[in-house]
Amino acid sequence: MEGAAQEGKGGCGVTGWREERVPGEVELAVSLWGEGPDPVLCLHGITAQHRAFNFLARCLDGRRPLAGMDLRGRGNSGKPPAGCYGLGAHAGDVVRVLDHLGLREATIAGHSMGAFVGLEVARRHPERVRALILLDGGWPRAGEPSGELDEGLERAFSRLEMTFAGLEDYLDFWFPGRNLSPEDLPPELEDYYRYDLEEADGGLRPKASLAAAREDARYLASRGPTVRELAGVRCPVALVRAAEGFFPGSDPLIPDPVRDAMAGALDVRREILAAGANHYTLLLDPRHVRRWAGLAADEGWAR
């Protein structure tokens, strides 16, 4: 996540999230930021949680409320055993959250795996999705994942089996050799990392379930959407791409040929290519979030 800690403290705080519990066979955690009847529903990546949208909340500054759910197996949501994951399960959870919030339809902003979940909801329940904001995710399936994708995921997955002595130890995992303390981070980023952890024997462990992450990764590799399936999504789409992949200087996860396939299948109304951003900093660096936050604030692009 190099680059995500470059902007110092400042701006709004991160005390605005109000958690609610969504009952069901798998209890879900959904948190609300701001006031108003029509929040954007935010879906995070494969090992993350809703606080990944802290900087979006900061950038919106009250212009639009947000609802951030922790996908099953992550954050404060329930963590069922293996066999209970995949895009269909997550799409059903999103519908439960919409019902809980009293929303007939919503705009969904999904990052990484969250983009795939948003697309699945739009395919299975088109009447519930007004528009989609795809944040470096949602590409069509084409054979096996690349070696870079495996490498990027494995680094994120590796921490899920680790116990950390404290938050500083966790920061050293993400920012090796920089000796960062929480005070060195913007409050939104500090809050993201704190929420990512829970107490465990001997220290702190990430909340995300490794079994859930691995099962979802296998699902996406073998059963993710094809170009033909993407063509079944009828709602307007905004596509936001990071110019780099998981690591600084790496190839983007959505290169131009893949972008062309997505644009040919989906009703893409707006596109943003974030120069200098990688897959993580697209969401965790306010300089890059400012480039696309307006898509969530005002849906004029989707009309």
pLDDT at 166: 97
Residues 84-106 as b/e (b if ≥16 CB within 10 A, e otherwise) read bbebebbbbbbebbbebbebeeb
pLDDT at 11: 37
What is the CATH T-level fold of the domain 18-302, as seen in this structure? Rossmann fold (3.40.50)
pLDDT at 1: 55
- Which stretches of the chain drop beneath a pLDDT of 50? 2-3, 6-13, 145-148
pLDDT at 9: 42
pLDDT at 152: 77
The mean predicted confidence, pLDDT, of the chain is 93
Supply the pTM of this predicted model.
Answer: 0.94
Tens digits of per-residue pLDDT, 187-241?
Answer: 999 999 999 999 999 999 999 999 999 999 999 999 999 999 999 999 999 999 9
